[in-house]
A and B are shown apart, each in its own frame.
Chain A
Amino acid sequence: DAKTTQPNSMESNEEEPVHLPCNHSTISGTDYIHWYRQLPSQGPEYVIHGLTSNVNNRMASLAIAEDRKSSTLILHRATLRDAAVYYCILRDHGSSNTGKLIFGQGTTLQVKP
């Protein structure tokens, strides 16, 4: 399974944009890039996913490098409720795979008022 690398922690001020980076240099052509976040004592929450093109939804934007070896999750205006651990995960699209998500350590985002 391809791996991802994220910074252990990041800080942001409330109301400011946040850019969370993820490196995935061994990504394969069929790997989708997924982002989840986990608040304390809760299950992970799906944020966004993409394959090649940049993606936007109501929660965030996902910017994918042209060579797909890195991506950035963008929170446009951080709120205190965005403080969480953010996981960048590669998910293979193929009938032979289990569909399991491989969680690394993630990035702990702190948002300061």
Chain B
Amino acid sequence: DGGITQSPKYLFRKEGQNVTLSCEQNLNHDAMYWYRQDPGQGLRLIYYSQIVNDFQKGDIAEGYSVSREKKESFPLTVTSAQKNPTAFYLCASSIRSGVGNQPQHFGDGTRLSIL
């Protein structure tokens, strides 16, 4: 079945440590997105990529980095510069960005906590 796979499901970060969250899709989608969700809140966009080897900052990119070397993969690194990383992280994809009639497909998320 086609879909988006996020791993790990739970992740713990030590002070000063960088951690990387994995996102893989087999939907052949061009566009991929990373969102952050805090308790009781909606999702906020961290980074997005409209095509391989290209990505742009979203609304809350500080303290995060991404890469898009392959169409199916869009890993997110939470760096030590992100002082409040505890959140639920969601990866999504769509056929293309800028197409209003196409839905986004989401993974099941990674919950990141500070040790």
Residues on A lying within 8 angstroms of B by beta carbon are 30-32, 34, 41-46, 49, 51, 87, 91-106
- For residue B107, which residues in chain A have a CB less than 8 angstroms away from its CB? 43
Task: For chain B, residues 47 to 75, give those with C-beta under 8 angstroms from any C-beta of chain A.
Answer: 48, 50, 56, 58-59
Q: Which applies to chain B's interface (DSSP): helix, strand, loop or mixed?
A: strand
- For residue B56, which residues in chain A have a CB less than 8 angstroms away from its CB? 98
CB–CB B109/A42 < 8 A: yes
- For residue B103, which residues in chain A have a CB less than 8 angstroms away from its CB? 34, 46, 49
* Nearest 9 A/B pairs, CB to CB: A93-B100, A103-B42, A99-B97, A43-B106, A46-B103, A32-B100, A103-B43, A100-B45, A91-B100
CB–CB A94/B100 < 8 A: yes
0/1 interface trace, chain B 99-115, chain A, CB 8 Å (1 if under): 11101111111010000
CB–CB B96/A99 < 8 A: yes
Q: Which of B31, B41, B109, B111 contacts A99 (CB 8 A)?
A: B31
Q: Which partner residue on chain B sits nearest A103 by CB separation?
A: B42
A sample of 23 inter-chain contacts (CB < 8 A) reads A30-B100, A31-B100, A32-B100, A34-B103, A41-B88, A43-B6, A43-B108, A44-B43, A44-B106, A45-B106, A87-B42, A93-B99, A94-B98, A94-B100, A97-B97, A98-B50, A99-B48, A99-B98, A101-B43, A101-B45, A101-B104, A103-B43, A105-B42
Q: Which of B44, B45, B88, B92 contacts A98 (CB 8 A)?
A: B45
Q: A98-B56, A99-B94, A100-B58 are in contact. Are A51 and B43 (CB under 8 A)?
A: no
Q: Beyond the given A92-B100, A99-B48, could you list 11 further A-B residue pairs with CB under 8 A, ordered by the A residue number?
A: A31-B100, A41-B109, A42-B108, A43-B6, A43-B92, A43-B107, A93-B100, A93-B101, A95-B98, A97-B98, A104-B42
